[in-house]
Structure 1
Amino acid sequence: MTNSLYDQLHQSRFSVAVLRDVALPIALGRDHANLEYWLGKQVARQLPVSNEDQLAVLAAEAEFGTLVITHGRRNRVTGTLSGNQVAGRLAEATTPSFGFETGWLAQEWQMLTGIFTEATYSIQNGLVIITLHSDPNEPLAATEQPHGDPITPLQTSSEKPAAAD
């Protein structure tokens, strides 16, 4: 994906909540959480970032919420989503799925590290906790590259979004 396509997506404003919490579950059916995870991975391949700092910027711009990455053990990294978008989805949807965001983050992390990565999520105290599980024994082949060139989100790491999400 080129920056021009990224720019087009960034400028188009439509109800992400309706698509994410109403349309996708209807269209994908009862297995929507697993399919959303796969879809998130596919979208990440089209919107690869070039460094870890850009993950939070892109998450904010995509209205996933405020993303904070915490490095844990060697094979485990945690991403925490919070903010108004997350709180709103948790309050409004009966059982909101964060499968899309989880798949997106797993794939972005895999592309950044070059190591096979899968992820799970849980909801705890109004936060979405995404746990990334990487296997350093499964490095990616050179052919497993993203479909687009790394994008440059509109905000840099020094211009992180304000807490007014």
Structure 2
Amino acid sequence: MIKNPPNAVSSFGYELIRDHVLSSILGKHEDDILYWAGKELARKFPCKSQEEIVAFFDDASWGTLTIAKETRDGRIFHLTNGPEFLQISNRSFRLEAGFIAEQIQQIQGYLTECYDEKHDKQQLITFTVKWDVKERILNTIPTK
């Protein structure tokens, strides 16, 4: 049996909290609450670039986030982390989606939403981010 370093959180411990305790507590509102919790986390841990968002995912052990496509008003990110990561059929990825939405909103300066989609066969999560260039948000750090 491999032991984790003394201060490390085991993947089993993380899974217990994330996939069993939270879903029991939050019930039918889990997706909505996790999305807004992700947005709040983003405000507490602001990233100044997409590269910092990618690094945050790695640091938080949320998986490997990559930028798959960039458009004028959106982005597509892919999240991977090994086959066991996606075998948890009830795991919600709305926390990550809310985090990405808020970070991109702060970076771009426009009202932003993020939608997640699980792809079991490809063993990845797709996050589709869209912002409305007609809806400017005050107190943001636009990159342009």
TM-score range, shorter chain: 0.7 to 0.9
Identify the residue that residue 137 of structure 1 maps to in structure 2: 134
Aligned residues: 131
- Are positions 1:96 and 2:91 aligned together? yes
Aligned to 1:76: 74
Greater relative contact order (CA < 8 Å, ≥ 6 in sequence): 1
User: Displacement, 1:12?
Assistant: 5.6
Partner of 1:72, secondary structure, is: strand
CA distance in 1 between counterparts of 2:78 and 2:95 reads 14
Cα distance between partner residues in 2 of 1:21 and 1:104: 18
Percent of aligned pairs with the same amino acid: 25
Q: 5+ unaligned residues in a row in structure 1: which ranges?
A: 1-10, 146-165
Provide, for residues 86-116 of structure 1, a one-character-per-residue CA deviation record: whole Å limited to 9, x for no partner: x32321x232211111111111111111111
Q: Which has the higher strand share?
A: 2
Match of 1:126 in 2: 123
Aligned to 2:89, the other structure's residue is in SS state coil
Q: What is the alpha-carbon root mean square deviation over aligned residues?
A: 1.9
CA distance, structure 1, for counterparts of residue 90 and residue 116 of structure 2:
13
1:13 is aligned to: 8
Give the direction of change, closer, same or farther, for the CA distance of 1:12–1:103 in structure 2 (3 Å limit).
Answer: farther
The runs of at least 4 consecutive aligned structure 1 residues that moved more than 4 Å come to none
Structure 2: gaps spanning 5 or more residues:
1-5
User: What's the TM-score, normalizing by structure 2?
Assistant: 0.82
Contact persistence 1:89–1:96 (CA under 8 A): no
Output the TM-score relative to the length of structure 1.
Answer: 0.72
